[in-house]
Structure 1
Amino acid sequence: MNDTKSSAEDLAILEQLNLDYNRSDQAGDAKRLGEFLAEDFIVQTPGVTRNREEYLDDIAKPRPFKDQVLHEVKIRILGDVALIHGRVTYTMIADGVEHDALYTDVYQKREGVWVCVSACAIAPGA
């Protein structure tokens, strides 16, 4: 397999994982999210660092927001590591206020499979 074909396939996989990550977040689907989070996954949001188990427990709780929409997604593949940068908008259920958030997710190809090893979000209200 040449690098161009591999890169195109990897890009398609990462695009789908990014969609799945955001859909899982909105829907509280910890099961799907857990399928591609690495065992050593760490997430940081304002004031909080969580490991994989803590994050999945949090995702499984009722979501405090709705209407999450992806914008400006950029995927950079750097060998066996990929960075996904993006912006999302969402509305907080409690007060109806719309917010913007920025995120960067880090994926690593381990034994031929892309897994999310780290995530960082600047997410007001979350």
Structure 2
Amino acid sequence: MADTDTANHLAVLQDLNHHYVRSVDQADVAWFEQHLADDFLNTNPDGTRLDRAAFLAQIGRGSVVKDIREHDVKVRLLGGFAIIHARTRYTKPDGSTGNGWYTDDWQLRPEGWRCVAAHVSRG
């Protein structure tokens, strides 16, 4: 990949990452419908694994944590595949602050970058 291509892909992935977290926080199912691969799989903090349809339903119900924000984001671009590692901070239902980690896997497909897998942990 040329340097300008790499920089463009990294910028797109940073933006997608930000909107992924925002969309969890705001229960924005429409954003996920546009950006998840048909074969998407998610692993929740409790170890349950959800396919795309179950994940969209979970997002639609809203998160039990609020004000989710990403930080310490590291995007690893591996040709037409990218791995994003990051931390989150959020507000728990009792008002205290929580944090966690996530890893999202993205693949460049003909229709653009699509998230193919996600794994979330909470501290």
TM-score range relative to shorter protein: over 0.9
CA distance, structure 2, for counterparts of residue 60 and residue 37 of structure 1: 15
Give the aligned partner of residue 50 of structure 1. 50
Give 4+ residue runs of structure 1 displaced > 6 Å after superposition.
none
Question: Which one is further off, 63-72 or 97-106?
Answer: 63-72
Please state how far the C-alpha of 1:112 moved relative to its aligned partner: 5.6
- TM-score of the aligned structures, taking structure 2 as reference length: 0.94
**Structure-2 residue corresponding to 1:115:** 114
Q: Supply the AA of the counterpart residue of 2:74.
A: K
Gaps of 5+ in 1: none
Please report the TM-score for the alignment, with normalisation by the length of structure 1: 0.92
> Tell me, which stretches of 5 or more residues in structure 2 are unaligned?
none
CA contact (8 A) 1:20 1:33 kept: no
Q: Is residue 68–residue 91 contact of structure 2 (8 Å, CA) maintained in 1?
A: yes
Kindly tell me the number of residue pairs found equivalent between the two proteins. 122
Q: Is the 8 A contact 2:70 2:87 kept in 1?
A: yes
The match for 1:86 is 86
- Contact map agreement 2:24 2:62 (CA 8 A) in 1: no
Q: What CA RMSD, in Å, does the superposition of the two structures yield over aligned residues?
A: 1.2
CA distance in 2, matches of 1:29, 1:55: 12
Report what 2:35 is aligned to: 36
